[in-house]
Amino acid sequence: MRSLLLATTNRHKIEEFRTIFSDLPWHLLSLHDIHVDMDVEETGTTFAENATLKALTYARATGMFALADDSGLEIDALGGAPGVYSARFIRPDASYDERFRVILETMQGLSAELRAARFRCVIALAEPSGSVRSVEGVIEGVIADAPRGQNGFGYDPIFLVPSLGKTTAELSSDDKNSISHRGRAAQKARELLEVWPVFPVPHQ
């Protein structure tokens, strides 16, 4: 069985990837599993750049096939912010409660039409040789008036999916994985993993 390094320290992401890839013939390993303690600075200006940077860096450092992602929340009324800086919005050590407060105060009084937002995720798969492929998943929604729900993580409590009438923090794990940005990107990554490396992989 081939091994795939899940190049993230975020346990929530690892759990989601393990669930979505559970039936694939890949042995999924985390950085903790292989005792790698290395941070990769996200210097890219897009999700694709950061995901590719992390996947390639870990693949080359470990000699393993690696998967990395970069994702975040884009709010139209804030010019696309926090975007690639979602995990560092306000400041790196800010709690999500603080981030919610700033976002909700900034958007106070805006109508639903002006609260449009989306979660975007790019997943990159890289080999130590430098071959890399990336896929993207997006889910559209609006910013809720207040945080709701106890499931999920990050900005899930303030991201409302209008068609469901629920925030992504109010969805079960299975329901969230079926519609979320990371779930959609991961499903596309599954298609690559199912045939890898039968097709030629272009260098970026």
Number of domains in the chain: 1
Per the domain annotation, does 204 fall within a domain? no
Residue ranges making up the domain that contains 191:
2-195
| 161, HSE (Cβ side, Cα atoms, 13 Å) | 18
What is the value of pTM for the model shown?
0.90
Six-digit token string for 78:
């804030």
The least confident of 61-70, 154-163, 194-203 is: 194-203
Q: pLDDT by residue (tens digit) across 5-51?
A: 999 988 888 998 998 899 999 999 999 999 998 889 899 999 999 99
Per the domain annotation, does 200 fall within a domain? no
Per the domain annotation, does 201 fall within a domain? no
Q: pLDDT by residue (tens digit) across 49-81?
A: 999 999 999 999 999 999 999 999 999 999 999
| 201, HSE (Cβ side, Cα atoms, 13 Å) | 19
Per the domain annotation, does 134 fall within a domain? yes
Among residues 89, 92, 121, the alpha carbon closest in space to that of 106 is found at 89
CATH classification of the domain holding 46: 3.90.950.10
Is the CB of residue 147 less than 8 Å from the CB of residue 159?
Answer: no
What does the alpha-carbon distance between residue 102 and residue 159 come to, in Å, rounded to a whole number? 15
Per the domain annotation, does 74 fall within a domain? yes
From 37, 39, 70, 76, active-site residue? 70
Catalytic: 37? no
Q: How confident is the model at residue 203 (pLDDT cuts 50, 70, 90)?
A: very low
Is the CB of residue 180 less than 8 Å from the CB of residue 159?
Answer: no
Per the domain annotation, does 203 fall within a domain? no
Per the domain annotation, does 37 fall within a domain? yes
